[in-house]
Amino acid sequence: MASLKMFIGALFLGIFIAGGSNVLEVGSNELIDHAIDYDKKEIVYSGEVIGDIMKRGQNCWINISDGDNAIGIWADESLAENIEYKGSYKYIGDEVKVTGIFNKACPEHGGDLDIHAQKIEITRKGYINKRPVNIYFILIAGILFVIAIIMNIIIFRKKL
């Protein structure tokens, strides 16, 4: 009998924990293709911070790419203060998970599709994108440069 009570208690606890979150985690393709279904709903969107963080008073714009598309995030400046790396040629940006309200046509921002962030969590720190130098390319470029100089000398001498 005690084990039945424990089973029922564990079952209700599991249902309570599992049912505690109504927030949908979605990707950019889903948001763009079904924007009307997610409009004004709280969602979770994850991806890499790319480009600059553009400050606008006490708020800022952050672009987040999930690998398919980038979506603009409107956030309080304090939510973005821990973002260190922004994706570019030189850097791989911080991976973040943004919880916020999705707008298919935000009236505050000229009808643009955006997410108004309520929470930004860094899930993986970015890093410097080290690109090794290919010594063979440098060698080939040097040889081609020498050939070009020799050809110019030959052409210049023939004209005299």
CA atoms within 13 A on the CB side of 122: 14
Fold type of domain 21-128: OB fold (Dihydrolipoamide Acetyltransferase, E2P) (2.40.50)
- Domains of the chain by residue range: 21-128
pTM of this structure = 0.71
pLDDT along the chain (160 residues), means of 10: 54 50 84 94 96 94 96 95 94 96 93 95 95 92 96 86
Alpha helices in 77-134 (DSSP H): none
d(CA 31, CA 34): 5
